[in-house]
Amino acid sequence: MLDFITFPDGDHMKEYDVIVIGAGVGTSVAFKALAAGMKVALVTKGQPGGTCLNTG
């Protein structure tokens, strides 16, 4: 399970095996953790993909 977290939600606490900060290069880490069966949260400031993918 991969959750994309774009805004903090103070009302709900969730548990994850791995929390990745940054959706640029961090997505490769997130997908490796997912492949290993871990529950992953991906925290990003904007759209997933990082500056290279979204800006050019």
Using pLDDT thresholds of 50, 70 and 90, give the confidence band for residue 45: confident
Q: What is the mean pLDDT of the chain?
A: 75
Residue type, 21: I
Residues in the chain: 56
pTM over 0.75: no
Type and span of the H or E element at 50:
helix 50-54
36: buried, middle or exposed (CB in 10 Å: 19+, 13-18, 0-12)?
Answer: exposed
CB 43 within 8 A of CB 8: no
pLDDT at 32: 92
pLDDT greater than 80 at residue 51: no
